[in-house]
Amino acid sequence: MAAISIDAIFLKNFAIARGNGTHLIKVKFLKERGNDFFKQNLFDSAGGCYEMTCRLLCLVLESMEDYDVESVLQLAISLNLNLAACANKLHEYEAAINFSSLVLSSFPKNAKALFRRAVACMKTNMLMEAQTDLETASMLEPKNKDILRELNAVKNLRAINHNGKRSIDDQLLCEVARESKRPIPV
């Protein structure tokens, strides 16, 4: 994702001072600018905004003595999920997988991260991983129509691949099965 230039006035006013809680508000404001870009389908600009917000969040935390850990954690999760969404929109699927996996490494039951990683996995023909993530997400949010739609789509894709040729996932599964002398799935 491209870097975004931040207003000189914004940076000038963002002088780091120990314990100043207003900096966290400024970080959240920058995240909202990214949200505005995303709503306008300016995904590269939104992603740049979110990346800058992550950097500034780190600076803020270094300068603050007291802060609400839960609030900062939720902000960091949100930023990574937003970066994953931007990466998917920009067809940067490996980046989307990485941003989602970062969230899932600490919060394995985050349905949004599972969904965004699954979408990227589908686009890179990692259909088994996509299905696993979507099945987990559907257990967490059984009424989420987006999750159910994508789960149905990945199942259809895997069925189509089984009719003509094996997907890359299924080929790898067969290789592992051969090496471990387990029966090869049909």
Q: Does domain 107-186 have CATH number 3.40.50.880?
A: no
| Residue range 141-166, pLDDT digits in tens | 999 999 999 999 999 999 887 665 55
The position carrying tokens 């009719």 is: 163
| Residue range 84-101, pLDDT digits in tens | 999 999 999 999 999 999
Query: Residue 114 in 3-state DSSP?
Result: helix
Where do the structural domains in the chain lie, given as residue ranges?
A: 1-90, 107-186
- Position 26 scores a pLDDT of 81
- Position 163 scores a pLDDT of 63
pLDDT < 50: residue spans in the chain = 3, 5, 8-9, 12-13, 15-19, 174, 177-178, 180-186
CA distances from 72 to 21, 108, 123 (A): 12, 19, 31
- Position 177 scores a pLDDT of 46
126-133 long-range contacts, CB within 8 A, separation 24+? 126/168, 126/169, 127/154, 127/157, 127/158, 127/161, 127/167, 127/169, 127/170, 128/158, 128/167, 128/169, 128/170, 128/173, 129/169, 130/154, 131/155, 131/158
- Position 59 scores a pLDDT of 81
pTM: 0.77
